[in-house]
Amino acid sequence: MTLAELGWNDTFAAAYEPWQSKAHVHPGRVGIEFNQNFRVYVEDGEVDAVIAGRLKHRAGSRAELPAVGDWVAVRQRPEDGAVIVGVLPRRTAFTRRAAGEPTGEQVVAANVDVVFVVMGLDRDYNPRRLERYLLMARESGAAPVVLLTKPDLSPDLSAHIRDVTTLAGDIVVHVVNPKSGEGLEQLRAHLGAGRTAALLGSSGVGKSTIINRLVGSDVQRTREVRASDSRGRHTTTHRELVMLPGGGLIIDTPGMRELQLWDAGDAVRETFDEIEALAGQCHFTNCRHRDEPRCAVKAAVAEGKVPAERLDSYVKLQDELATLARQQEERERKTRR
């Protein structure tokens, strides 16, 4: 396992320069994170490591600490084991609002090239949740791809594909059946030597089965989902970076009970491009598309040009982002005081 096979490139090499001359320090990539304990892949194998106390002290937030996919500087000495002493700047990062922390950011996967957003075509099917995943995937800086699983359980496969393709816009949509392996060759086209993908989606949609199929063996545990609600039992309990035999890497993630936004920025405009385009035609420049008169967006909804559910989702996201911004401002004021 070489650094290049793990995704090392000239950008990371340049960022690592300050550590180059330090004794017993080597570059590595975080492969597993579990309760602040880490498995780090290095050029001559892998090591178990913890975070250096100084790095914890310097970190301004939880998001600045190592996450799966991060490139790190690791100090290895017989007397104190392996310690992560630095985190290199990330190229991309899929982040969300940390569960239970109103102003906390959690990095789900770092330095990812492509995000596979996985949604089942059984009871897991939820276009509104898919919008949220795509919004966050776009904001991460990685290229999003939609994977629709369990096509055999869809009551109307062609309608589901049509609706998701319309919602996704210019994002590629693939239909795959992880259990049979059907369609998985389409995923390999997005992978390759040194490229990293991440699988995101609810529990039970087939993420671990997809990895097992790509690897060619059962490296990830899987369980059957409940027939009543198509939910799994969170077989994957931690994030893990898996090497693929044909080159490339893929990050498996636990099913997310909460998917609250942390930051959206331009991703909102990309995800709701039809609403953003119509907003320029509203009578008021600060129109919120709610009770304001002569609203072009509401007119389009009334005419059936834009689904009402899309506008509802857009408005809810705007409210959520506004609330988050207020909470962050309040936290900054308290920090300054």
Q: Based on the domain organization, do 120 and 150 belong to the same domain?
A: yes
Higher pLDDT, 335 or 66: 66
- Arithmetic mean of pLDDT, 328-334: 72
Of the pLDDT bands very low, low, confident and very high (cuts 50, 70, 90), residue 234 is very low
Domain end position, chosen among 70, 87, 104: 87
Residue 330 has pLDDT above 50, yes or no: yes
User: According to the model, what pLDDT value does residue 258 have?
Assistant: 46
- Position 222 in a domain: yes
Number of domains in the chain: 3
Residues in Cβ contact with 159 at an 8 Å cutoff, skipping those fewer than 6 apart: none
State residue 219's pLDDT score.
Answer: 61
Residue 89 φ then ψ, to 5°: -55, 140
| Residue range 182-209: mean pLDDT, rounded | 90
| Residue 109 near residue 137 (C-beta atoms within 8 A) | no
Examine the fold and report which residue of 53, 68, 87 is the final residue of a domain before the chain moves on: 87
Are residue 97 and residue 234 in the same domain, yes or no? yes
Do residues 180 and 129 share a domain? yes
* Per-residue pLDDT, 337: 79
pLDDT of 190 > 90? The answer is yes
73 part of a folded domain: yes
Q: Are residues 229 and 125 in the same domain?
A: yes
pLDDT in tens, 75-113: 998 877 899 999 999 999 988 766 555 556 788 899 999
Same domain, 299 and 205: no
The average confidence (pLDDT) of the chain is: 85
Q: What is the CATH number of the domain that holds 45?
A: 2.40.50.140
Indicate whether 261 belongs to any domain: no
Residue 320 banded pLDDT, cuts 50, 70, 90: confident
**Interval 19-42 mean pLDDT:** 93
Cα–Cα dist 99/296, whole Å: 36
Helix H segments across 169-263?
185-188, 207-215
Whether 137 is covered by a domain: the verdict is yes
Is the residue at 257 inside a domain? no
Question: What pLDDT score was predicted for residue 8?
Answer: 96
CATH number at residue 325: 1.10.40.50
**4 domain-assigned:** no
Query: Which pLDDT value is given to residue 19?
Result: 94
Looking at the fold, whether 173 and 277 belong to one and the same domain comes out as: no
Query: Both 139 and 242 in a single domain?
Result: yes
Residue type for 214, please?
Answer: L
| Residues 79, 190 within the same domain | no
pLDDT at 267 (0 to 100): 64
Q: Which domain holds residue 136?
A: 93-252
Q: Examine the pLDDT at 278 and tell me if it is beyond 70.
A: yes
CB 211 within 8 A of CB 199: yes
CATH number reported for the structural domain that contains residue 144 in this entry? 3.40.50.300
Q: Which of 185, 145, 141, 186 is nearest to 168 (CA)?
A: 145
**Which domain-ending residue is among 87, 119, 141?**
87
Residues 6+ apart with CB under 8 A from 89: 15
- Compute the distance between CA of residue 128 and CA of residue 106 in angstroms, rounded to an integer: 22
Looking at per-residue pLDDT, the higher value among 297 and 325 belongs to: 297
The closest of 14, 49, 10 to 28, measured between CA atoms, is 49
* pLDDT for residue 227 is more than 60: no
> What share of the chain in percent tops pLDDT 70?
85
Count CA atoms closer than 13 A to 61's CA, side-chain side: 14
Same domain, 43 and 112: no
Query: 216-225: long-range contacts at Cβ-Cβ below 8 A with a sequence spacing of 24 or more?
Result: 216/245, 220/252, 225/122
Nearest to 93 by CA among 200, 209, 210: 200
Residues 247 and 282 in one domain: no
pLDDT computed for residue 260 by the predictor: 54
Give the pLDDT of residue 17. 96
Helix H segments across 92-246? 127-140, 157-168, 185-188, 207-215
